[in-house]
Amino acid sequence: MMLNKQGRQTTPNAGADNSGPAGGYATIGGHKGLEHEEPLIFEQGEPGRCGVDLPAPANVAERLGGLRRKGAIGLPGLSEPQVIRHFVRLSRKNYAIDMGVFPLGSCTMKHNPRLNEKLARLKGLGDLHPMQPESTVQGALALIDELAGWLKTLTGMPAVAMSPAAGAHGELCGLMSIRAALIARGDARKRILAPESAHGTNPATAAMCGYTVDPIPATADGRVDLEALRAKLGPDVAAIMLTNPNTCGLFERDIRQVADMIHSIGGFFYCDGANFNAIVGKVRPGDLGIDAMHINLHKTFSTPHGGGGPGSGPVVLSDALKDFVPLPYVIHDANGYRLVEQDESGKSFGRMKGFHGQMGMFIRALAYMLSHGGDGLKRVAEDAVLAANYVMASCDDVMSPAFAGPCMHEALFDDSFLKDTGVSTLDYAKALIDEGYHPMTVYFPLVVHGALLVEPTESESKDALDHFIMVLRGLAERAQSKQAADYFHGAPYLVPRRRLDETQAARKPVLRWKPAQDNKAAAE
pLDDT in tens, 419-458: 999 999 999 999 999 999 999 999 999 899 999 999 999 9
Other CB atoms within 10 Å distance of the CB of residue 27: 13
Q: What is d(CA 1, CA 29) in angstroms, rounded to the nearest whole number?
A: 7
Q: What is d(CA 235, CA 242) in angstroms, rounded to the nearest whole number?
A: 19
Q: Is residue 134 within 8 Å of residue 339, measured between CB atoms?
A: yes
Q: Distances in Å between the alpha carbon of 212 and those of 192, 194, 218, 220?
A: 6, 10, 20, 26
287-298 b/e (C-beta count within 10 Å ≥ 16 → b): ebbbbbbbbbbb
Q: What is d(CA 476, CA 478) in angstroms, rounded to the nearest whole number?
A: 5
Q: What is d(CA 484, CA 339) in angstroms, rounded to the nearest whole number?
A: 63
Cis peptide preceding 304, ω within 30 of 0: no
| Angle 289-291-293 from CA coordinates, rounded to 5° | 110
Q: Is residue 455 within 8 Å of residue 109, measured between CB atoms?
A: yes
Domain coordinates in residue numbering, the chain: 1-42+79-88, 115-368, 374-504
Backbone angles phi, psi at 109, to 5 degrees: -85, 90
Q: Which amino acid is at 134?
A: E
Q: What is d(CA 417, CA 397) in angstroms, rounded to the nearest whole number?
A: 9
| Angle 249-254-257 from CA coordinates, rounded to 5° | 145
Q: Would you give the DSSP letter of residue 23?
A: B
Q: Please, which residues have CB within 8 angstroms of residue 362's CB and are 6 or more apart in sequence?
A: 143, 144, 147, 162, 297, 312
Per the DSSP assignment, residues forming a β-bridge with 160 are: 316
Q: Do domains 115-368 and 374-504 have the same CATH topology?
A: no
Backbone angles phi, psi at 129, to 5 degrees: -120, 135
At 488 the three-state DSSP class reads helix
Q: Please, which residues have CB within 8 angstroms of residue 162's CB and are 6 or more apart in sequence?
A: 144, 147, 148, 314, 329, 330, 356, 357, 362
The three state secondary structure string of 238-296 is EEEEEECCCCCCCCCCCHHHHHHHHHHCCCEEEEEHHHHHHCCCCCCHHHHCCCEEECC
Q: What is d(CA 33, CA 30) in angstroms, rounded to the nearest whole number?
A: 10
Q: Which fold has domain 374-504?
A: Aspartate Aminotransferase, domain 1 (3.90.1150)
Query: For 389, how many CA atoms within 13 A lie in the half-sphere containing its CB?
Result: 13
Backbone angles phi, psi at 329, to 5 degrees: -140, 155
Other CB atoms within 10 Å distance of the CB of residue 2: 15
Question: In which region does residue 289 sit, left (phi positive, over 0), alpha (psi from -120 to 50) or beta (all else)?
Answer: left
Residue (of 129, 125, 179, 169) closest to 147 by Cα position: 125
Q: Is residue 287 within 8 Å of residue 174, measured between CB atoms?
A: no
Cα Rg of the chain (Å, integer): 27
Pairing type for strands 191-195 and 212-216 reads: parallel
* First CA to last CA distance, the chain: 30
Can you say how many angstroms the Cα of residue 14 is from the centroid of all Cα atoms in its chain? Answer: 30
Q: Which fold has domain 115-368?
A: Aspartate Aminotransferase; domain 2 (3.40.640)
pLDDT per residue of the chain (524 residues) written in tens, 0 to 9 = 344 444 433 334 444 454 544 445 678 888 888 888 899 999 999 988 888 888 888 888 888 888 988 888 888 999 999 999 999 999 988 899 999 999 999 999 999 999 999 999 999 999 999 899 999 999 999 999 999 999 999 999 999 999 999 899 999 999 999 999 999 999 999 999 999 888 888 999 999 999 999 999 999 999 999 999 999 999 999 999 999 999 999 999 999 999 999 999 999 999 999 999 999 999 999 999 999 999 999 999 998 876 655 789 999 999 999 999 999 999 999 989 999 998 878 899 999 988 888 999 999 999 999 999 999 999 999 999 999 999 999 999 999 999 999 999 999 999 999 999 999 999 999 999 999 999 999 999 989 999 999 999 999 999 999 999 999 999 999 999 978 999 999 999 998 888 888 889 999 998 888 887 654 554 45
Q: What is the largest CA-CA distance in the chain?
A: 80
Backbone angles phi, psi at 503, to 5 degrees: -65, -45
Is residue 159 within a helix (H) or strand (E), and if so which, with residue range? strand 159-161
pLDDT in tens, 233-247: 999 999 999 999 999
